[in-house]
A and B are shown apart, each in its own frame.
Chain A
Amino acid sequence: MELHVSARKQLGTFRLEADFTVDGSRTGVFGPSGSGKSTLLNLVAGLGVPDSGRISLGGETLFDSRSGVHVAPEHRRIGMIFQHAQLFPHLSVHSNLYYGYKRCHPAHRKIRPDAVIDVLQIGHLLKRGVANLSGGEKQRVAIGRAILSNPRLLLMDEPLSAIDASLKFQIIAYLKDTCAVFNIPYVFISHTLLEMRVMADRVLTVEDGCACRLVTAEDLARGATKDAGGYINLLRLASPARAGDVHAYQWGDRHLFIADTGEPPSTLFELPARDVILFKKHPEVISARNVFSATVVKTFDMGVRQGVELQCCSERLIAEVTKKAARQMEIREGAEVHAAIKALSFRPLG
């Protein structure tokens, strides 16, 4: 579903300028706090009115200052998930869930309530009031409520920022699963790079009120390393098997050995690029549990360091070395190297 926005909005001394067209089902909006992300989302939802410009979704004009079109938010069929769940405190979980569903035209009711309740695992909460739900439960009900209004597009305004770090990836899984199962495109706002990389393919960056630059999530991650703590590999791994004091995860057609943290096995891991050690020749004896040969696909500038994109069998991995080391090792495109990673370098996310 194509979303086109070219709009301007002045709020006091703050000025938002947006000009972009996105056509993916997983779009991110990334930028620091106060950069205008929420203002932008409100304009798309119809909760705010641009000073001038045009907004259209799937070919339908939602706002056009020239022809005076402004479709009311309740007629846009654009759902919204807020930072705090914003459940109606005077209604039960059941009534909250059905609030949008009841107001949705029967012709548009394609998503069945019991299917949503099932995916979000909130069946046991239906009869309860919303006051004594936990943060994660509240956000799950809010996701269900938004999805049951059968939106054409779902806007998410930092839905994870008010949630405990330990629960974040659980909610991410619910968000991704429900949107995938019910085939709803979404726009996801965050100021956290990690959330952006997990949730979005294409990312709109917002800076100082300017929302015009579209990049891929991967490019965003590589570009952001100059001032942050370096590039971080995100690995999605499956089917762990116990191998002594470590877990062996399937990674492409080989295994990665990851230290047992005592927590239940995860599927998503962080691996800092600087923890990938490169060797010119195969190191015979080494304490790192993962050693494999790789081909350098590409090198890129990361400020004082050099980014090295490696092809390891069927998988890609980014390593980070100092420029001097890169010169000495003659790392260039096509070079054959050996990479070593300690089992302790992986950080499970959830």
Chain B
Amino acid sequence: MLEFSPSDYSAILLSVRVAVSATLVSLPPAFAVAYAMTFKRFRGMLALDVLVNLPLTLPPVVIGYILLMLLGQNGWLGKWVLQPLGIQLIFTWKAAVIATAVVGFPLMVRAIRTSMEMIDRNLVYAARTLGAGWFDSIFTVIVPLSVRGLIAGSILMFARGLGEFGATIIVAGNIPGVTRTIPLAIYDYVSSPKGDAMAMALCLISVILSVAVLIVHEWISRRMTSRRA
């Protein structure tokens, strides 16, 4: 029988923690970007579209390196914003969250946009003529009607977060108990002799987590469908 070491357990917990945090952190900006791209016409829309979707096409390692240059001690965000505030991000679990959020962001925005594009603009107009202000109409019409996209986007982000490797290893490193997530732990086991069995065991954990996420997604969408009818 295989025994997980404390650092294996912490890798599993950390993976879940990073994926959940990245999802929660990304939801508000992803909603805002999806809203702007669906309902607004503005200059620089194409530029925003390209920027948001870039992480989908760039190798994660490149994203990690860009983040490192931005947030590192000599990066302009790191040097001029983070250091004066006394914030250290690189090689902490927070860096893993940022890496995961950036890599998963386009998936989340796409999922939210898909459900937002099905909202009839006249519903928002109806809400406005009924006395709802702009914020009111967002929270009582747009959020409830794009809730499917919000859930689908969160699931995609969470699942992507569980598997994030390339960007994470560059900005957060592979520190056992601090920034070592499941994929990093598997990488370690595979590259060490006699580590195959433990790698397999962690793979199994990954499979279980992914299946659980998909079941939860399916369950939520079925419940929503039956409630609508």
Contacts and interface: CB of A to CB of B under 8 A. Distances in A.
Contacts of A131: 228-229
The binding surface of chain B is classed by DSSP as helix
Contacts of B127: 88, 99
Nearest to B141: A88
Contacts of B69: none
A74 B128 contact: yes
Contact of A79 (B129, B132, B140, B144): B129
A74 B140 CA distance: 14
A162 to B, nearest CB: 12
For B129, B131, B132, the residue with the greatest tally of chain A CB atoms inside 10 Å of its CB is B129
Interface stretch (B94-102, B117-125, B204-212): B117-125
For B127, B131, B132, B228, the residue with the greatest tally of chain A CB atoms inside 10 Å of its CB is B131
Contacts of A172: none
A149 B131 contact: yes
Contacts of B131: 74, 77, 100, 103-104, 149
A291 interface: no
B122 A73 contact: no
Contacts of B136: 74, 103
B6 interface: no
A272 B133 CA distance: 49
A45 B129 contact: yes
Interface size class of B (residues with CB under 8 A): 20 to 34
A285 B145 CA distance: 69
A78 interface: yes
A149 B128 CA distance: 11
Interface residues of A, number: 29
B126 interface: yes
Contacts of B125: 42, 45, 47, 73, 80, 82, 86
Contacts of A146: 129-130
B139 to A, nearest CB: 12
Contact of A78 (B129, B141, B145): B129
Contact of B122 (A77, A84, A129, A145): A84
Interface of A: 42, 45-47, 72-74, 76-80, 82, 84, 86, 88-90, 99-100, 103-104, 129, 131-132, 145-146, 149, 155
Given A73-B128, A145-B130, 20 more contacts: A45-B125, A45-B129, A72-B133, A72-B134, A74-B128, A77-B131, A79-B130, A80-B125, A82-B122, A82-B125, A84-B120, A86-B122, A86-B123, A86-B125, A88-B140, A89-B228, A90-B145, A100-B131, A104-B131, A149-B129
Interface of B: 120, 122-123, 125-134, 136, 140-141, 144-145, 228-229
13 contacts: A47-B125, A72-B128, A74-B130, A74-B133, A76-B129, A79-B130, A80-B125, A84-B120, A88-B123, A88-B127, A89-B228, A103-B136, A129-B228
